[in-house]
Amino acid sequence: MYVPAHYKGSSAAAVATVRASPLATLVTGAEPVPFATHLPVVLPEDVADAVDNGPADLRGHRVIGHLNRANPHWRHLSAGQPALLIFRGPGGYVSPEVYGYTPAAPTWNFTAVHLRGTIQPLPAGEETRRVIHRTVRELEGRFGRQWDMAGSLDYFDKILPAVGAFELHVEDVDGMFKLSQELDPETKDKTTEHFAASPEGTHRELACAMERWTGAEGRPSEGSL
């Protein structure tokens, strides 16, 4: 991913985006075009502890996900295969009308993180079961209603043979945080206020990300975004 210097974020910002936007796109090579599958991806418990209590950087760690074994993509995954995971945060169209001056050009503000590394399909059975249980605990804890999966464990075991789980060993991380850093403070504030007042899509989340962007070099504070 091409990232201009003034749109780069911290490693902590990349971790925060991965955790806040866990529906990722897994991309691996194929002919005539690459495979791409949308699927949930979370941090294993030990990795979450490591980035919470040490350097907030996913490089050298792993993330886990799963997909349907009936998906042809699963059958083309192999150990050590290069892979890309794409995470999209909030985004929104910026009309020049928001700026209140001309000439100007429209644009799109957004946040995105790419994880590159090698994939490791996991065996069916206990390892895949652990991925499912971890995914449920993480997503229910962050986005759900604290649902207790205990009453559904037998059902999980019933569908387990249809699930393909994997790890991605992260080698590199790219984060793009295009949040109007190039604008003068007054125009950036107008743009932020525009998104904060909008009910469309993820505009209000985008406004929050823009408000958290700090620093003379146009970088988010540690742990933000």
95, 159, 222 from 127: Cα distances, Å: 48, 14, 33
Q: Give yes or no for a cis peptide into 103 (omega within 30° of 0).
A: yes
Determine the pLDDT at residue 214.
Answer: 53
Gap between the Cα atoms of 60 and 47, Å rounded: 10
Question: Looking at the DSSP assignment, which residues form a beta bridge with residue 223?
Answer: none
Asked: is 5-181 a CATH 3.20.20.70 domain? The reply is no
C-alpha distances out from residue 140 to 56, 66, 147, 152, 157, Å:
23, 16, 7, 14, 19
Residues 6+ apart with CB under 8 A from 167: 62, 63, 64, 119, 120, 122
pLDDT for 213 equals 77
Listed as ranges, residues in the chain with pLDDT below 70 are 214-225
Q: Which pLDDT value is given to residue 219? A: 47
Check: pTM over 0.85? Answer yes or no.
Answer: yes
Give the integer Cα–Cα distance in Å for 194 and 136. Answer: 35
Residue range 162-195, pLDDT digits in tens: 999 999 999 999 999 999 999 999 999 999 999 9
- For strands 81-94 and 219-220, give the pairing: unpaired
Q: With CA atoms as reference, report the closest residue to 176 among 108, 101, 78.
A: 108
Query: Hey, which bits of the chain come out as E strands?
Result: 23-28, 35-42, 62-68, 81-94, 107-121, 163-178, 213-214, 219-220
Q: Strand 81-94 relative to strand 23-28: parallel, antiparallel, unpaired? A: antiparallel
| 163-178 and 213-214 strand pairing | unpaired
| CA nearest to 3, candidates 217, 206, 221, 177 | 177
CA distance 6 to 178: 8
